[in-house]
Structure 1
Amino acid sequence: MNDELKGEVTRGARALVVYPQMRGRGDLDPAARLEEARGLALAIGLVVADAMAIVIREPRAGTLFGEGQIQNIATACELEEAELVIVDGSLTAIQQRNLEEKLKRKVIDRTGLILEIFGERAATAEGRLQVELAHLDYQAGRLVRSWTHLERQRGGFGFLGGPGETQIEADRRMIRDRMARIRRELEQVRRTRGLHRDRREKAPWPVIALVGYTNAGKSTLFNRLTGASVMAENLLFATLDPTMRAIRLPAVEKAILSDTVGFISDLPTQLVAAFRATLEEVTAADVILHVRDIANPDTEAQKRQVLDVLADLGVVAGNGGDGDQGEGEAPSIPIVEVWNKWDLLGPEQAALLTEAVTHRDGETIVPLSALTGQGCDELLEVAGRMLTQDARLYSFVVPAADGQRLAFLHARGEVVAEEDAGEGPDGPQLRLQVRLSERERGRFGAL
């Protein structure tokens, strides 16, 4: 855990979760929001002693909650022996400090909690850089203590402070310098990732990206389809760093399946910016599998959150509510809705959703259970059809020695006929009749 919690709160500590329910906000259901906050706390090993929603009519600038509400929180902390208060919303630095003084306990908000999880889970060098940048951005406006640990990283910082420079000014400058360095390193990561993506554009395999709300079952589905052993637990943000594996589809010889970080409501703006490079993998996909926890009561609200993020990435035109893409526009990348956790539905709910599938015009939906494997074969068939749905028949003459272009045509298209085309400038040639999508035809032309 980060410096804010060290020495005060440890894994196994008892926490009180408080959800400030703002009047007039069309948010997730309070009960679902509290359950999600519980999951976030459990994800970093905290014990949730109790969880409560408090209606906020007029937010107080200094404390967010009213005096009576603060007293109720303090009483609950005493009764439940809670060492930490988690406010499932955003707190300003002043609100956080004032609440800590009044409650005599450590207080963190939703952003701080999610940053803790990301800091603990990031596995790659890129992930750790992104998390550190998000942490620094979050702390820059707070500066509740000295940042002497950054001095050691920079080396020889102390003498650079001008005469009369206050500690807080030195801290702010130190944070800005460190953030600038991390941004430069991340920019290099993005360039490298871009080069890798360009190579994949020319490689003979399409890319299928798994996206969805956190804990929707993406990693379980990834493991089911690829036979891999990616961390797949009933925890929020079990996956942070993208993972890729090869899979075989009925209509396509080989494809690359990519597992991505889960989305969540009110994702801290610092993380949206810091993890942009990771989410950009989605924009290079040929097909997106939107995995939904269809057994969750708030599955529609979760869907809207995911579509909002995809719209921000330019993958969909916008979210018109209740699943519409917005303004009647189709997504720029084909999307398959995967209704996961079908095994958790009761017979009546399953019958209702089965009926709903038949009335969703313009959407491709596959009900399945990643846990049992039910529906996974159908998903692979649908994904294969998506990759070849706008295919046309083309004729190409390719040198027999050009292995890259031949491999591309065999992997990305359906080779209908292949025959000897005689000698050419570069030796023996082959004439191929190939069914290719428009996108793959463009990629083949760039080889």
Structure 2
Amino acid sequence: MFDLEENRKKVQRALLVGIQDPRMSSDDAERLLDELQELTANLDIPTVDRVVVKLRKAHPAFLLGTGKVQELIAHAKELEADVIIFDDELTPAQQRNWEAEAKIAVIDRQEIIIDIFSERAHTKEAALQVALARMEYSLPRLRRAWTHLSRQRGGGTGARGQGETQLEADSRMIRDRIAITKKELKEVIQHRHVQRAKRLRKPVPTVAIVGYTNAGKSSLLNTMTDSDVLAEDKLFATLDPTTRRLELDNSQHVLVTDTVGFVRRLPHRLVEAFKATLEEAVVADLLIHVIDVTNPDAEKHYETTMQVLKEIEADKNPMLVVFNKIDALEDQSDRERFMFTHKDALYLSANTGEGVSELKETIAHHLNAKYKSTELLIPHERYDVISKLHQSGGIREQETRDEGVYIEGIFPPALAGVIKPFAVTSKSSSET
């Protein structure tokens, strides 16, 4: 496999190729290519040109017809490009065929995304997940790597024979490393489950922020919780989930987690690899789905996120749809259009703070609807129970009386057995 990570400095001139299939508009193809160019720029690889190819029928050998193949190769040589990057996924055989014909590196969107993920993963779990995705991607492409090596050595029957032997050895080595990485990942995930179980025993309601990459999720988390999570204007700035405590106006607090952003044509193996990270969204009491209202593909970004949430079985969770960056929205008719199609959505700016108070109120309302409001009278000697209630963050009113401590609040179901003996009355409230 052409190791993009190791050969980054050697790759300085990229020709980007987008594929427009019969179901796709030219605008869609161009915007997907815009996204590929941004992904490539995140790796500091300059683009010398970009081409959209209309594809009526996929060809198994090169994806494209032979005439278009020769045309693109000639164009790449004219531009002195040292890499051709396809927006569509190429099979291992197609990559080998392209590189044999073009005599330069040919990669696809998957390889670009994996490389970005590799740079941005900081926790042990994320690093293991990326390593696993990279190895599973590389394994069927090993023959392609040895093709590169043969060209460097000048080929020859002897070199090919050694290469074939080395290929088998490398295949076994990667399979062994995949098995070891899966075992390590399983141990790390189990440790995280233990930590989450401890957290849930407190217990505190949880909220997960999800959405398309670069929609402003980290900025929203910072504004809501007055924290300083990394928030950069680039794709996949956040890979490792970050959790912060959010105080609500009714004295309740929740844990809010920022998750990895989604992207169109996200490699499925990365969805699989990051299911553990995205599990924060699966177990959350509430999802905040953030959308960049200024992006022309906002609706498609919404659909992409919903599709990934469906894949990880989190699409049934209660969800607030939030359109971010309204301070940068120039055409108010766009806002009216979104309000028509997303009637229950909220509109805010993580940058200026506009609309964030309303979001907090809505979060509190949803949690109030989920958890029943309860009045309690707890004996003075049972401060162990009072301590647990404070840890839950659900106390809204507390008063010391002669007969005990009166508490009114909203508490998670996990505390039902603890508070039942001390219940006075339950205010009318429906559980969702």
Check whether TM > 0.5.
Answer: yes
Per the alignment, residue 258 of structure 2 pairs with 259
Per the alignment, residue 93 of structure 2 pairs with 94
Per the alignment, residue 53 of structure 1 pairs with 52
Distance in 2 (alpha carbons) for counterparts of 1:27 and 1:131: 33
Find the residue that maps to 2:117 and give its secondary structure: helix
CA-CA distance at 1:132 after TM superposition: 0.6
Find the residue that maps to 2:194 and give its secondary structure: helix
Give CA deviations for 1:192-218 in whole Å, capped at 9, x if unaligned.
Answer: 111111112122432221100111111
- Amino acid in structure 1 at the alignment position of 2:216: G
- Amino acid in structure 2 at the alignment position of 1:349: S
Distance in 1 (alpha carbons) for counterparts of 2:104 and 2:81: 8
Find the residue that maps to 2:294 and give its secondary structure: coil
Per the alignment, residue 161 of structure 2 pairs with none
Alignment map for 1:178-217 (pairs within 5 Å)? 178-217=177-216
Distance in 2 (alpha carbons) for counterparts of 1:27 and 1:115: 27
Per the alignment, residue 377 of structure 1 pairs with 357
Give CA deviations for 1:72-125 in whole Å, capped at 9, x if unaligned.
Answer: 322332343322111011111111011112222211111111111011111111
Change beyond 3 A, Cα 1:250–1:141: same
Alignment map for 1:156-195 (pairs within 5 Å)? 166-195=165-194
- Amino acid in structure 2 at the alignment position of 1:367: Y
Distance in 1 (alpha carbons) for counterparts of 2:11 and 2:223: 32
Change beyond 3 A, Cα 1:341–1:43: same
Work out whether residues 213 and 292 of structure 1, in 8 Å CA contact, stay in contact via their aligned partners in 2.
yes
Find the residue that maps to 1:76 and give its secondary structure: helix
Change beyond 3 A, Cα 1:412–1:59: same
Work out whether residues 418 and 430 of structure 1, in 8 Å CA contact, stay in contact via their aligned partners in 2.
yes
CA-CA distance at 1:303 after TM superposition: 0.7
Work out whether residues 12 and 45 of structure 1, in 8 Å CA contact, stay in contact via their aligned partners in 2.
no
User: Which of residues 350, 368, 382 in structure 2 aligns to 1:388?
Assistant: 368
Change beyond 3 A, Cα 1:182–1:232: same
Alignment map for 1:18-417 (pairs within 5 Å)? 18-24=17-23, 29-143=28-142, 144-145=144-145, 166-316=165-315, 331=316, 333-350=317-334, 352-353=336-337, 356-357=338-339, 360=342, 363=344, 365-396=345-376, 398=378, 400=380, 405-410=385-390, 411-416=392-397
Gaps of 5+ in 1: 147-164, 317-330, 423-428
Give CA deviations for 1:154-198 in whole Å, capped at 9, x if unaligned.
Answer: xxxxxxxxxxx9333322221111111111111111111111111
Distance in 2 (alpha carbons) for counterparts of 1:41 and 1:54: 19
Range with greater deviation from structure 2 (371-380 or 7-16): 7-16
Per the alignment, residue 149 of structure 2 pairs with none
- Amino acid in structure 2 at the alignment position of 1:366: L
Work out whether residues 409 and 415 of structure 1, in 8 Å CA contact, stay in contact via their aligned partners in 2.
no
Give CA deviations for 1:391-433 in whole Å, capped at 9, x if unaligned.
Answer: 43434454646556424434443445655585xxxxxx64544
Distance in 2 (alpha carbons) for counterparts of 1:8 and 1:122: 19
Give CA deviations for 1:29-82 in whole Å, capped at 9, x if unaligned.
Answer: 112111111111111111122222111112111111112212332233234332
Alignment map for 1:419-430 (pairs within 5 Å)? 420=401, 430=405
CA-CA distance at 1:380 after TM superposition: 1.5
CA-CA distance at 1:435 after TM superposition: 3.9
User: Which of residues 408, 413, 421 in structure 2 aligns to 1:441?
Assistant: 413
Normalised by the size of structure 2, how large is the TM-score? 0.85
Normalised by the size of structure 1, how large is the TM-score? 0.82
- Amino acid in structure 1 at the alignment position of 2:13: R
- Identity among equivalent positions (%) equals 36
Range with greater deviation from structure 2 (344-353 or 304-313): 344-353
- Amino acid in structure 2 at the alignment position of 1:43: N
Range with greater deviation from structure 2 (376-385 or 399-408): 399-408
Find the residue that maps to 1:29 and give its secondary structure: helix
Work out whether residues 236 and 261 of structure 2, in 8 Å CA contact, stay in contact via their aligned partners in 1.
yes
Distance in 2 (alpha carbons) for counterparts of 1:290 and 1:306: 8
Work out whether residues 398 and 405 of structure 2, in 8 Å CA contact, stay in contact via their aligned partners in 1.
no
Work out whether residues 4 and 115 of structure 2, in 8 Å CA contact, stay in contact via their aligned partners in 1.
no
Range with greater deviation from structure 2 (214-223 or 400-409): 400-409
Change beyond 3 A, Cα 1:419–1:358: farther
- Amino acid in structure 2 at the alignment position of 1:338: V
Tell me the matched-pair count. Answer: 400
Distance in 1 (alpha carbons) for counterparts of 2:179 and 2:28: 39
CA RMSD of aligned residues (A): 2.6
Distance in 1 (alpha carbons) for counterparts of 2:252 and 2:259: 23
Find the residue that maps to 1:222 and give its secondary structure: helix
CA-CA distance at 1:259 after TM superposition: 0.8
Find the residue that maps to 2:51 and give its secondary structure: strand
Change beyond 3 A, Cα 1:6–1:389: closer
Larger helix fraction of residues: 2
Distance in 2 (alpha carbons) for counterparts of 1:5 and 1:435: 52
Change beyond 3 A, Cα 1:244–1:391: closer
Distance in 2 (alpha carbons) for counterparts of 1:271 and 1:366: 30
Distance in 2 (alpha carbons) for counterparts of 1:210 and 1:231: 15
Find the residue that maps to 1:228 and give its secondary structure: coil
Distance in 1 (alpha carbons) for counterparts of 2:188 and 2:27: 35
- Amino acid in structure 2 at the alignment position of 1:336: L
Distance in 1 (alpha carbons) for counterparts of 2:19 and 2:418: 54
Change beyond 3 A, Cα 1:360–1:268: closer
Work out whether residues 371 and 413 of structure 2, in 8 Å CA contact, stay in contact via their aligned partners in 1.
no
Range with greater deviation from structure 2 (172-181 or 396-405): 396-405
Find the residue that maps to 2:89 and give its secondary structure: coil
